[in-house]
Amino acid sequence: MVGVKKKMVTLVSSDGVEFVVEKRVAEQSLFIKNALNEGGVEEKVMIPIPKVTSDTLSSVLEYCEKHASATEFQENEIEEWDKEYIEKADLDLLYYLLQASYSMSIMGLMELGAKKVASLIRGKSPQEIRELFNIKNDFTPEQEEEIRREMQWNYE
């Protein structure tokens, strides 16, 4: 964060696309921050990001860029931005963002995504939840019957 020449880092997505970003942006990810510290290399760092495709990574970096300069904005401005950012992500992107934020250790993004998923679950029936997340019902009919009976205390 010092005022000297901006240090740049190159991130490589799982499908081989290179992203050149400021170090302070990349460091929003604890995973990258640690990698940089461990490496101790000053110039021209290349960090491969496994399991994160270029599409996802560009979206992740959009988040990192905003939050790296969070001090320039009002708190509620950032909140608004977060809201819009996660609102426009479809279910697929949401899934990849969660995966990426988890593997790259970006806690803010992970929480943002997790809250969004929780909002999606809210008020849905078991069947609707299965359909939403493409979950297979792996209970046997007897087991489902049993668990339904166990849960019926809150269903009128």
Partner 1 sequence: MSVLPDELWFRILELGAGTSRLDYRDLCSLAISCRRLSQLSSDPALWSILLALDFPQSSSSPSTLPPKSAYKIRFERDKSRKVLLWRRAVLNVESQVAVSEKRLRDLESLMVKEMERLKTVGDELSNLERARHATVALNVWQPEVVRSSHMEIVGQCTVPIESRCSALKMEVKVCKQQIGVYKNALNEEKLRLCERKEKLTSLKYHPLQSYQTSNTDDKDNVKRKKLKQSKYSYWK
Residues near partner 1 (CB under 8 A): 91, 95, 98-99, 102, 110-111, 114-115, 117-119, 121-127, 129-130, 132-139, 144, 147-148, 151, 153-156
Question: Toward partner 1, which CB reaches closer, 43 or 156?
Answer: 156
For the CB of residue 56, give the shortest distance to partner 1 in the complex, in Å: 14
Contact predicate 75/115, CB 8 Å: no
For the CB of residue 146, give the shortest distance to partner 1 in the complex, in Å: 10
Best CA proximity match to 107, nearest among 96, 94, 98: 98
Question: Toward partner 1, which CB reaches closer, 20 or 133?
Answer: 133
For the CB of residue 88, give the shortest distance to partner 1 in the complex, in Å: 18
51-54 long-range contacts, CB within 8 A, separation 24+: 51/14, 51/99, 51/100, 51/103, 52/13, 52/14, 52/96, 52/99, 52/100, 52/103, 52/104, 53/13, 53/14, 53/15, 53/96, 54/13, 54/15, 54/16, 54/17, 54/19
For the CB of residue 91, give the shortest distance to partner 1 in the complex, in Å: 7
Question: Toward partner 1, which CB reaches closer, 79 or 133?
Answer: 133
Question: Toward partner 1, which CB reaches closer, 17 or 147?
Answer: 147
